[in-house]
Each structure stands twice: as C-alpha cells, then as structure tokens.
Amino acid sequence: MTLDPGAAFRLDGKVAVVTGASAGLGARFARVLDAAGARVVVAARRADRLDRLALQLHDGFAVACDLAEDGAAEALVAATLAHYGRVDIVVNNAGVSEPTPALDEDTRKFGHTLRVNLVAPFELAREAARSMIAGDGGTIVNVASIWGVVGVGQIPEAGYAASKGGLVNLTRELGAQWARKGVRVNCLAPGWFRSEMTEGLMFGDERAERWIRQRTPMGRGGEEHELDGALLFLASDASTYVTGQVLCVDGGWTTV
C-alpha cells in the first residue's frame, strides 16, 4: 500500500457550502476548497460578487441570501441539494462586527449580532446535519475568532465576543451530539487577519498594527494563506478522529 498523506486532504466529489463568501476570508475559503477538488456553493447577500466568484471556481454555485432571515438556512440547504444532490461540508463563516463600548451597545444591536453570528450558524448546521445524517455523514467548520476564547478589551465588542464564545461552545455541544451520527463539528478561530471586516479597524492604521505586533508572540498579524491548511484539515478526512475542537490560528495570541 502506497502512503500518500496528501490524499487525506483531497475533497474530490464533495459538496461544500461556504457562507460569507462574497469577500475576504470567505472568498478565500471557497477558493481553497475548490482547489482541493470540492464543488462549492458560495452564499452571501451580495449577489454580484457571488456570481463573479462562482464563475472563477471549477464547479461553483452561487446562492444569494441573508442568513439572518427566518428560513434562509433551510432554503440554502434545499438549493444545494437541488443543485448537487448532497451536502458534505459546511463552513459557517458569515458574521458581523460593529465595535461599540458595552455601555453604549443597545440591546437591539447586541441581539442582531447574536442572530447573525450564532443563531444563523446553528440553523445552517442543523439543516445541513439532517441531510448529512441521512446520507454519508459530513463535517461542519464554524469560523469563530480569538474573541471566542479570550477577551480583548481594547476593541469593545461585547456582542461579538458573546456570539463567538457561544459559537465555540455550540461547536463542542454539536460535536458531542452528532459524533456517533457521522457528522463532525469543529471550530476555526483566526487571530488578526486582514479582511474586509478588519480593514480600517486593525489594518491600514499604523498604531493598531503596532499593537498587534507587540501583543502577538510571533510579532505580526496573519497572512491570508495561513488559514488554508487549518481549514483543509478540519474540512477533510485528515481530521476524521477530531470533533468538538477549537483550532486557534493566531500567532500565539491566546497562549499569553
């Protein structure tokens, strides 16, 4: 038998759904899964960007939707099943971030952040898992953040921190519930990466970038490609004995 470690990371024939795919890390995730052989459903609110991305993939399919709306997750899974007949991988990447001091963060805004960052990923995971359990199983990757593991403080985001902390423990609970049903659930927790969300907040501002360099043990923020391996590990058969885990890709931020 020939040993080929790289084969475990291949996704040939798999169908992957990536939310928040119209820009930033989500678009990158879609391209990485595509390069590994997956057929990729890209989902977000901005249809024009999704359509362009889908055309760049080998076998891409765009579904414009707002996952904060009731029934959106069910419709996304239904569209995926209608187009490809299966769903094997879900990357719950869509999210919102609006830094506001907790004393000024009203309940409506706090609730909206939880709706997008925590409730919507649960709904999509649940709907996808129903199909996965009835079929050949699957894997769900929830994209959280270092905010889900530690507090930051200097950037006030109580709602965001609460939503990502909830997503981390939701990952553990779903991983435990579905472990014997063929569905693995894990969490990817990025540190400081340049994206549409962080541009202007943490990147492009010398003071903020200096703060990141000083506080991060590796002395820098992450490069976009440095999430590729972690994503493929969690999404592929390279991690078949891993579930309910949180993989921090943060240059050591959460170790100190």
3-state secondary structure of 249: strand
Question: Is the CB of residue 175 less than 8 Å from the CB of residue 169?
Answer: no
Report, in angstroms and rounded to the nearest whole number, the Rg of the chain calculated over CA atoms.
Answer: 18
pLDDT of residue 199: 60
Q: How far apart are CA 70 and CA 112, in angstroms?
A: 13
The mean of the pLDDT values for the chain is 94
pLDDT of residue 201: 59
3-state secondary structure of 239: helix
pLDDT at 59 over 90: yes
Sorting pLDDT into bands at 50, 70 and 90, what band is 208?
Answer: confident
Sorting pLDDT into bands at 50, 70 and 90, what band is 194?
Answer: confident
* Residue % of the chain over a pLDDT of 70: 96
pLDDT of residue 202: 64
pLDDT of residue 205: 76
Instruction: Determine the average pLDDT of the residues in 20-29.
Output: 95
Question: Is the CB of residue 162 less than 8 Å from the CB of residue 107?
Answer: no
Structure tokens of 118? 């925590």
Residue 160 among the catalytic residues = yes
Strand order from edge to edge, sheet including 183-190 = 60-64, 39-44, 15-19, 89-92, 138-143, 183-190, 246-249
Question: Is the CB of residue 68 less than 8 Å from the CB of residue 125?
Answer: no
pLDDT at 79 over 70: yes
Go through the domains of the chain in sequence order and give each one's CATH number.
11-242 (3.40.50.720)
Structure tokens of 31? 């391209």
pLDDT at 142 over 80: yes
Alpha-carbon distance values, 40 to 11, 81, 145 (Å)? 11, 12, 23
Instruction: Determine the average pLDDT of the residues in 36-48.
Output: 97
Q: How far apart are CA 124 and CA 107, in angstroms?
A: 24
Which alpha helices (DSSP H) does the chain contain, by range?
24-35, 47-56, 72-84, 107-114, 120-134, 158-178, 206-215, 228-235
pLDDT of residue 186: 98
Q: How far apart are CA 226 and CA 137, in angstroms?
A: 28
For residue range 168-182, list pLDDT tens digits in order: 999 999 999 999 999
pLDDT of residue 2: 63
Of the listed 160, 178, 193, 253, which one is catalytic?
160
pTM for this structure? 0.95
